[in-house]
Structure formats: structure tokens, C-alpha cells
Chain A
């Protein structure tokens, strides 16, 4: 379990563990997720997907499918507006609408196996599936490429003839799979490397992995005869889903209502739209609500993965352990369309350390995989795997404890990140100190085939836009309306901040997540922003209500409002006092209802740092890695609801364990994914992991009234490197490729010269 959050004495609600407001619905099966929506008259849509990883689509003949009894509508890209290149800002990242449209339904070319080509709506999903088999697509298969380094070669199959390399604003002469080249540089890098006492340079590779949310993508659309489109969907951001759907259909956003259902996991993969515009088009064609649900293989092959990568990281230090220079070369695949996760990868690779001279080059590389999407600290985990393994090797060469080397070079307030920003008050050093003081770190691990590893990780955590309103009820409770879809208990964490502000209990706040017509604009549930930014909005709603309640108290007591004081939910003036609930009951006689409102748009990042410790045992015969003990330590600013903070840390750690040890996309020679099922993709089960211990460090964020930093993404960053470092101490083998699955680790162990020492 976690350490005791220090804020408990300071706050009445924050730091406690109330039962989440949507809890009963979610343990009784009553909560309505996207697939549980069923409107009267609904028909069911299915998508035909390309069997080729790369192919020209010469013709599509849907006539036989249209004639099948029960088929209501058929659509292809030909039905959609032809969009010119236009960049739409989606809050956390932006998207080229022409590319988004071509991803939703292929325009002339299939760019990955699983790329949507056509869609059918029918009276049942079985009939729709039969109709898909009647659609004739004339493909001209093309050579495919699914490896990021091969895709960068001049002779690689070219995905797009209109994508040129943008290298620091300069456009390449000819089309290329390298869509973007990023470069950061600070100090005198080459000189510093030349003068350094110790230099370590290593190359790394990581496989494509999927976010793995258990709920497949789903959407139900009703395009009404008055031209209004309503979409019920499972999305991280109802407003960004509305924007994308409206843009792809070229209708005003006000003509689209997105109703966010309960969402069964997202992790970054449910921001881009896939089904929503297609269901809408089918609905317009047949005049019925159209519901579409992906199968699991469609989720693997048609959505999501986060980039595979090839990386080279070089670090140099003085002999007493001061880092003096760093260089990173990072190539991430973007998948079928530009705009992968290379930007944050470049910004995060050295984000934990003070490195006075550093250079980072990053490449966004097209290849024949689904368009990559964000996945929990997108781009950071790959980069940290490379950097944190090199740090570990550097520590070994310097004969310095790896934790001490990190402490010695850790960023702190005033340190400058290689891409420019200077950190405000952050808590990285505190996570390292907590690791050092932990029972886990202090307990010896001596057994053969066992080893302990440590690694750190960083994620920005963003702010962005949130809106909220709340109305005071006569019984002293407050109904809160917010726009952030609740993926992991944020109704509770937001409501608790409103409760704290008003001096009432968490249970006295009734939070509701509203659709796009019932709440102000709110950005995605992503970037670890919701408890921070929507929580900030809830706090401001509370202040707004408090001002109005003070006005009402002044009316009741016939005094100047300046005389009314409010503390802990009690209003006082001239020796009289009333609780929030007593005052709430009197509102009808003092001017009517009280409604609070707030919109916020905090800028910059709140900076989350974590340090993870792991003990592994490696079976010398099979190379199977068993996680024996795991401790995740993180500065979360302030833990609003510690149970859900721990849950984020534990869940992120286990996703990182899966990424480290098993998960990967296998492709055949023609670029087709070979393991598009949970069984073959192999995410961790309950049996694969131990309890995940957490140590919550609280260095309050100075830019939030309650010190919140956000928590969700940082915990996935450190695990692969921590585990690689542990495997080294268990086996003497340095693994530089993810996943470190038994076949790869076994081969590496077999190559290791006998008798090598490594402790």
C-alpha cells in the first residue's frame, strides 16, 4: 500500500477514499457503455477491411451487397467530402483532416492490413457480415514495409507520394516516408563528448504495442431528418469526437451532438474517430440509427498501436559521475499517416537529468501499420527505455550506485529541459529519496537468477480547457455537471475538489458527465489532465457558489456581504452562523436558485516524475522472467483520492510490464499482423504479476489550488527500463530490444560467454 499522504490533516475531503459516485452502476452491470446503447429501430453496421498491408484500390463493387435481403445501406469513401489538407487542433495534439478521413475509409489506397475500405448497415450484424463478403474490391497489392529503419531507406515502398520530409521547416526534394525530422540542441555537444571520462552509446529497438483497452470501439449514430446528427460513443473526448465527425462530414459542429457513454478504457487510443463518421453516413443513407461495434481483431488491426522504434542513445560523464553530454537519435513509426509520437519522445528522452550539452534528432516515419495513436505518456516509454538503460550501464562503468547516479544528476526547480522549458518546483529528487528509503531498496536480493533494477520516468501532464457548472439543491447537496468522460474514477476526484472548496462531503456532490449540448467545451480525458484541470474548474465553481451563498447569507442577516465569512462550509456574520445545508434550504426565499460556473484553460505542464524498483527472477532454462516484487514511486503533487492514485500507478506499471516482457505486433513478410487476438498478443493476466506496491510522494504543484499534478501517464514510462536493468543483474545480459520475451532473452543468454560476472 501507499505511504500516508501528508495532506490529510490539511484537508477534510482531499486525501480520503470515498466510494466513487458511479460505483453502484459499475458493479451491478447497470452502467451504460457504448455497446449497451440501443435505440428503437437500430440497424447494425460492419466494416470491410483490407486483407493487404499495402494495395491500390482500383475499384469497389458494392452492388451484390446492396441486393442482399436485410441490407439497409452501403458506403465507401466516395460518399464522403473530399477534404484538402487542413490541420485541426484536437487539444492534445492535432490531426490532418484529409489523412483522418482517409484513415476512416481508405481513399484509393489501403495502407495497412485492416484499413477500412467499405461499410454496410443491415438488420443484424450477421447479415452485415454476410454482405461484406459480397463486396468486390479490385486490389493491386504493393510491397509493404513495417520496420521503422527499413521504411526510412530510399528504396523503401513509399506510402504517400505527397508527403515530403519536413526537417526544421525545410521541405525535402522528393516524397519520403520520413514525414518529420525534429532536432534539439543545447551547449557544445561534440566538445563535451571528447572531453568526457566515460561514454556509453547503445542502440535499442521496441515493437509496436497496443493500448489494449478491453472495450472495443463502438458508435451509434442517428442522422435525423432535420439534419441533426447525434452520436452515442465511447470516447476520451466528446468535444473532439464532435469536431472530427463534423469536419469529416463537413457539417457545422452545432449540428452534431456527441453523447459520451461510459468508456471501457482508452489510454490515448480513443481520441481519434474511426466509426463515428461511418455510422453517421450509413444512418443518413438508411434513415435509421446505426450501431457499429468493432471485433477484437479489428481493434488490433484497425486502431491504435503506439509506435515501434529504433533508437540510439549516447551519454557521457566525468569520472565522479557528473553527466556532461547526451545525444539521442530516435526513429518512431507513425503508421499509415504522419503525426506519430516522436515529438514528445524527443522532449522526454533526457527530461530526468541535467545534461548541459545535448542533441536530439527525431524522425516520424510512415510505414504500413495502422495510424499510431497516443498510449499513456505517448513516446516517453520508448525513449526512457533507451536512456535509463544507458544510465544504468554508465553507473556500472563509473562504479556508482545507479540510484546515486540519478540523484546526482536529477533535474530540479530551475533545470532546463533539452527542448527549452525550465522546470518549476518538481519532485523528481523526492521520488529518488523515497526509493532509497524504501523497504524494497533496503532489502537485499542475493539469490541466483534474481536481480533488481531501477529506472525513472517523466511525463509532462497537461492543462487544456475544461468547463463545469453546479447547482445547489435544497437538501444541501450540489449537482455537478462536467464534460470529462470518466475512465478511472474522475467523477470522484473532481467532485472531491468541489466538496473541499464548499466544505461539504464528497457524497454531497452529485457529479454527471454531460453531452456536448449540456456542458461547456471540455478537452479530452488524456494527458493526465482531468483531475488537474477539470478539478481546477470544479474548485472555481465552488468559489463562485461560495460568493453567491455569502450574498444570500447577507440578505438573510441583513448585513453587508463583506461581513460574511465562510470556513469549512459554515457561513458566519455578527455572531450568527449557518451551515451550507441550512443556507441551501433558504435559497428560495433569498432570490432563487444558486448555480456556479467556471471555465479554465491552464497552460504548460504539471511535470510528473516517477521511479520504479523491480526484482525479477529469470528461469535459466526457458528465459521466462518472473516479476517477484515491484514498487512504483511517484510525485503526484497532491493525491486527491489516494486509492485511485495508487490504481493509476499500479495499472501503468503493469501495462509497462506487458510492454517490457510480452506485448508486440508480429508481422509476416507481406506486412500483415499475425497475432490480432488477446491470446496471441499476450497482455499480463492476474497470474503474471505480483502486488504492485506504491509510494505516493506529494510535492504540491504550485500552479493548482490543491497542488494536483496529474498522475495517470508517468507510471508506464519507467517499467521496461527497470526490468531490463533487473534482467541484467539476474543474467548478465543487457537486453536492448522490447519485448524481452523468452525467445529473445533465451537467445541473448545463449550468446553470453560462460562465466561472465555481472553483480
Chain B
């Protein structure tokens, strides 16, 4: 009997097929089979959120999903967030707001934030904190991450012209346009 199952899914807009052992998690499949190492393993038991991806638009800990379960599903990983040689506003705001230090949790936070803002374009600080509470960050104390999500919401609402918290504090032109120009 074959030990592996054939699975067909859509990953970052592209159809993919892979063979998967029953015990392999979606995280293992993404990292080890599809070479998409942007999703990180921090705990492998759903506590830290570093492996967050979107499964049919909803954020999931990919370590808690089996590879064989995603047949026919639509998966978005951090590798699929930037488009047309442009960072997504959330990615850009994370950079402008210095919302990462070591960066290991960053892909998971960006995926969770994207799922939140796709559903609720204008969340309150409490809603942001609640939605992000499944993602652990040990470096930042969350302040700049929450601000980056708030700034992302504004930027997405205004089509990319809102300046970030950091740019305002600096009084310097660290806007998306200036950052792209460099």
C-alpha cells in the first residue's frame, strides 16, 4: 500500500500537487516539500502562531493542519503576500514602524493581520490585540506591531497615502513612496 497520499491544492494562486505522508503537517509540507520556508515552526503545537497561513482565507496554525487535509484548498503563505514587485501595505507598515526585531514571528503576524484587515478594515486596538493574541512575539512587546496594523488599516483605506506612526514621529519622509524610491 502506498505510504503517501496525493494532494492537489492552490498555494499562493498556483496549482500545486504533492505526495504527503499521513503524519506530515501542512507546515512540514510547506517547508520541506514545497520549499516555502517563510512559515516558521516555533512550537509545533499551535501555541505560538509563527506558522500561520491562510486556509481558504482564514488564518490557521499550519502545524495543526495535516497535509492530507488541504486537498482542494486555497492556501496563502507569506511568500504570496507581496505582488507586482511591491510589498503589501502591511509588510511596508511593519518595516516603517519597526514592528519586528528578530523577525521570526513576523510572517505569522503579517498573515494574521492580513486575515483580520481583509475581514475588518477598521479594527479597534482591542480587536487587533485580540486577533493577534494567538501569535507570540518575544522581542517587541507588541506595541509597534499593533501600531503597524493600525497604520496598515489606514494605508489600505486611503490607497497607500497614509504615513506611518514612525514617519510622523521622525518628521521625515519615510512614506511608502520614499521607501520605494530608495
Contact (Cβ within 8 A) A214 B100:
no
Which residue of chain A is the closest to B146 with respect to CB atoms? A686
| Most B-side CB within 10 Å, residue of A20, A644, A650 | A650
- Count residues of B near A (Cβ-Cβ below 8 Å): 67
**Given A651-B139, A686-B135, A27-B100 contact (CB < 8 Å):** yes
Distance in angstroms from B37 CB to nearest chain A CB is 4
Interface residue B151 (Cβ < 8 Å from any Cβ of A): no
> Residues of A contacting B23 with CB < 8 Å?
126
Contact (Cβ within 8 A) A17 B98:
yes
Contact (Cβ within 8 A) B47 A686:
no
A374–B130 CA distance with the chains assembled, in angstroms: 32
Interface residue A35 (Cβ < 8 Å from any Cβ of B): yes
Interface residue A59 (Cβ < 8 Å from any Cβ of B): no
A38–B36 CA distance with the chains assembled, in angstroms: 12
Distance in angstroms from A692 CB to nearest chain B CB is 5
**Given A27-B91, A215-B42, A489-B98 contact (CB < 8 Å):** yes
Interface residue A175 (Cβ < 8 Å from any Cβ of B): no
> Using a CB-CB cutoff of 8 Å, which residues 629-644 of chain A contact chain B?
641-644
A318–B33 CA distance with the chains assembled, in angstroms: 71
Contact of B133 among A19, A26, A687 (CB under 8 A): A687
Contact (Cβ within 8 A) A295 B174:
no
> Using a CB-CB cutoff of 8 Å, which residues 10-38 of chain A contact chain B?
16-20, 22-24, 26-33, 35-36, 38
Which residue of chain A is the closest to B81 with respect to CB atoms? A28
Contact (Cβ within 8 A) A685 B136:
yes
Interface residue B87 (Cβ < 8 Å from any Cβ of A): yes
Which residue of chain B is the closest to A264 with respect to CB atoms? B104
Contact (Cβ within 8 A) A264 B140:
no
Interface residue A507 (Cβ < 8 Å from any Cβ of B): yes
**Given A16-B170, A19-B95, A26-B45 contact (CB < 8 Å):** no
Distance in angstroms from A126 CB to nearest chain B CB is 6
> Residues of A contacting B182 with CB < 8 Å?
19, 507
Contact flags A482-515 to B (C-beta < 8 A → 1, else 0): 0000011100000000000000000100000000
> Residues of B contacting A31 with CB < 8 Å?
103
A689–B105 CA distance with the chains assembled, in angstroms: 18
Contact (Cβ within 8 A) B48 A20:
no
Distance in angstroms from B160 CB to nearest chain A CB is 16
Contact (Cβ within 8 A) A24 B47:
no
Contact (Cβ within 8 A) A691 B143:
yes
Distance in angstroms from A610 CB to nearest chain B CB is 14
Distance in angstroms from A690 CB to nearest chain B CB is 8
> Using a CB-CB cutoff of 8 Å, which residues 456-488 of chain A contact chain B?
487-488
Interface residue B75 (Cβ < 8 Å from any Cβ of A): no
Interface residue A388 (Cβ < 8 Å from any Cβ of B): no
Interface residue B169 (Cβ < 8 Å from any Cβ of A): yes
Contact (Cβ within 8 A) B82 A28:
yes
Distance in angstroms from A23 CB to nearest chain B CB is 4
Contact (Cβ within 8 A) B166 A17:
yes
Interface residue A567 (Cβ < 8 Å from any Cβ of B): no
Which residue of chain B is the closest to A25 with respect to CB atoms? B103
Which residue of chain A is the closest to B170 with respect to CB atoms? A17
> Residues of A contacting B98 with CB < 8 Å?
17, 20, 489, 641, 643-644, 646-647
Contact (Cβ within 8 A) A35 B41:
yes
Distance in angstroms from B68 CB to nearest chain A CB is 15
**Given A19-B96, A29-B79, A293-B104 contact (CB < 8 Å):** no
**Given A29-B37, A686-B146, A687-B130, A24-B95 contact (CB < 8 Å):** yes
| Most B-side CB within 10 Å, residue of A19, A30, A212, A684 | A19
Which residue of chain B is the closest to A2 with respect to CB atoms? B169
Which residue of chain A is the closest to B94 with respect to CB atoms? A27
> Residues of A contacting B104 with CB < 8 Å?
33, 213-215, 262, 264-265
Contact (Cβ within 8 A) B44 A296:
yes
Contact of B43 among A36, A266, A296, A689 (CB under 8 A): A296
A651–B98 CA distance with the chains assembled, in angstroms: 12
Contact of B174 among A18, A33, A264, A293 (CB under 8 A): A18
Contact (Cβ within 8 A) B136 A214:
yes
A36–B37 CA distance with the chains assembled, in angstroms: 6
Which residue of chain B is the closest to A505 with respect to CB atoms? B182
> Using a CB-CB cutoff of 8 Å, which residues 163-182 of chain B contact chain A?
165-167, 169-170, 172, 174, 179, 182
A648–B134 CA distance with the chains assembled, in angstroms: 22
> Using a CB-CB cutoff of 8 Å, which residues 241-273 of chain A contact chain B?
262-267
> Residues of A contacting B96 with CB < 8 Å?
19
The stretch of A190-198, A330-338, A675-683, A697-705 in contact with B is A675-683
Distance in angstroms from A24 CB to nearest chain B CB is 7
Contact (Cβ within 8 A) B45 A677:
yes
Contact (Cβ within 8 A) A27 B95:
yes
Contact (Cβ within 8 A) A488 B79:
no
> Residues of A contacting B35 with CB < 8 Å?
38
Given contacts A17-B166, A38-B35, A126-B23, 8 further A-B pairs with CB under 8 A are A16-B172, A19-B182, A28-B79, A214-B138, A264-B42, A488-B102, A686-B128, A688-B133
The 5 closest A-B pairs by CB, nearest first: A29-B38, A264-B104, A654-B141, A643-B98, A26-B103
16 A-B pairs, CB-CB below 8 angstroms?
Answer: A17-B170, A26-B103, A28-B81, A29-B107, A213-B104, A214-B50, A215-B40, A295-B44, A296-B43, A641-B98, A646-B98, A647-B141, A654-B141, A655-B141, A677-B47, A678-B48
B-side interface residues toward A, CB under 8 Å?
21, 23, 31, 35-45, 47-48, 50, 77-79, 81-82, 87, 91, 94-98, 100-107, 110, 125, 128-130, 132-147, 165-167, 169-170, 172, 174, 179, 182
